[in-house]
Structure 1
């Protein structure tokens, strides 16, 4: 089952988004480490929430940079999976990040693919912004995704 179809099937059910996130993390277990939740998924967009808790903070009690990198990769990966045509496949090949402000609250990662040409092959850059509860951008990522036609 395609990721977007699974999300649509589960999102309206009680705990459906939590179940969806759990299933995604079962497929890619490292994402369990941040205990995030996918809150929206459609073509060209994915949103992932992260509660600020001790397990994702650093020595200055802000959300750790690598936790935000994980959020960005989860959001960007799900968005590209939901948006690419069925005859294409992808793999991340790099990520450039900027830490803009201290992440002192719960966070929301948003990947927006509305400007991406999904028919192309080669490297596609997926942008991700992470905002705090004050709607301030605290982190940005540009994830290079290598896209090719399926064999």
Structure 2
């Protein structure tokens, strides 16, 4: 069964573009919708109903005092990936809300960062069918060395939009 909502309809026209153009176009669109995401230069590399991949380049505007990606930018990266995988599955009459943002910084990151947020088929079925609920969204965050400098979990809730 096919599922469509505002997010999936917004990205559909860009699906057939080459990766570099698609990533840039989708990132610009969502960067305008969520200004802080646009300011940080997050890049939406993959958007599916089961998996969302978002990255950030280690550039001056997101760096800390030791020239690695700032802790707040890392949290934003994980929150964005997890929020979009939930958002890809929410009917248009519901709104996602971050409930818990748990981020453990285990070592200094190196270079660019990439967050991968995933949902199981059972999670997706609940998000689409329950008018109100919450889901734990695991996020794997890796740096340029392929290691995980951060361990994170996000709990997202959803509820009906106010009329």
Q: TM-score, normalised by structure 2?
A: 0.81
Listed as ranges, the gaps of 5+ residues in structure 2 are: none
Q: After superposition, where does 1:80-91 map in structure 2 within 5 Å? A: 80-85=86-91, 88-91=94-97
Alignment size in residue pairs: 151
Q: After superposition, where does 1:48-59 map in structure 2 within 5 Å? A: 48-59=54-65
Q: Which has the higher strand share?
A: 1
User: CA 1:135–1:115 in structure 2 vs 1: closer, same or farther (change >3 Å)?
Assistant: farther
1:109 aligns with 2:115: yes
Q: What RMSD, in angstroms, separates the aligned Cα atoms of the two structures?
A: 2.1
Aligned match of 1:79: 85
Q: Which has the higher helix share?
A: 2
Aligned match of 1:2: 6
Aligned match of 1:130: 141
Q: Distance in 2 between matches of 1:7 and 1:93?
A: 26
List, as ranges, runs of 4+ consecutive aligned residues in structure 1 with deviation greater than 6 Å: none
Q: Is the Cα contact below 8 Å between 1:52 and 1:107 reproduced in 2?
A: yes
Q: Is the Cα contact below 8 Å between 1:36 and 1:50 reproduced in 2?
A: yes
